[in-house]
Amino acid sequence: MCPKKGLETFIREKQLTDKEWLDLIETRREIIKPHLDSLLLTELGSLACMQSSGNFNHGLQQDVSMSGGDKRFSLKTKGIFGKQPWEAVNRIPNSGYHPGPGYVNIPDGTMQVWGLTHSGLWVLVTIDFVGESGYKDRGYERATAVKVVETSIPLLVFETEEEPEVIWEEIGKTIKRCVEDRKNLYHQALGLAQAVEAEEFALSLLLKKA
């Protein structure tokens, strides 16, 4: 289905306002909502948003086994998730791990993550974390608590301080990635089906000769 309302918004010379971006996000959500549950989406617990060993990140499920907040959601909830901009993360001064001169401090803090679940609901994920020394004193952000609540897209943008355009683009990237995964699975299945058909045909010829 072609999103006429969304396309009409782009046919103009003026820059889009935040309100128009929010409308575009909602339009995109309504278009994909009926299909979200059938896509291969990521579990919240697999979201690699915590820093570990320098430039590497690890998933929430490595630190915590359950989440608080709305009981409808958990670390097993699948969807499209995105962490807030690095500069928007609430980091507590003079806290966490301080490795010394020449190294980066790993403070305690709170991170917000936006999400669109497989059932088409907007969620706000709040992650409390502490800074620790980690492997070979390279620094490690350890999640201590995760809270998930249903919300609206305007509140998500406000709480995470994320640009609406970024959320719109990330949803599109994820859908395209899922479609490519489906195509690859289809071609693999097609190859298997063709192999089975070839074997059955060969067997039928053998049976005719018998």
Tens of pLDDT, residue by residue over 64-83, are 999 999 999 999 999 999 99
Q: Is the pLDDT confidence value at 2 over 70?
A: no
What is the DSSP annotation of 132-201? E--GGGS-EEEEEEEEEEE--HHHHHHHH---HHHHHHHHHHHHHHHHHHHHHHHHHHHHHHHHHHHHHH
Across 11-25, 85-99, 102-116, least confident range? 11-25
Q: How confident is the model at residue 9 (pLDDT cuts 50, 70, 90)?
A: low
Q: Tokens representing 147?
A: 């809270």
Check if the beta carbon of residue 23 is closer than 8 Å to that of residue 167. no
Closest Cα to residue 150, out of 118, 113, 125? 125
Q: Residue ranges of the domains in the chain? A: 16-209
Check if the beta carbon of residue 50 is closer than 8 Å to that of residue 60. yes
**Amino acid identity at 135:** Y
Q: Is the pLDDT confidence value at 27 over 70?
A: yes
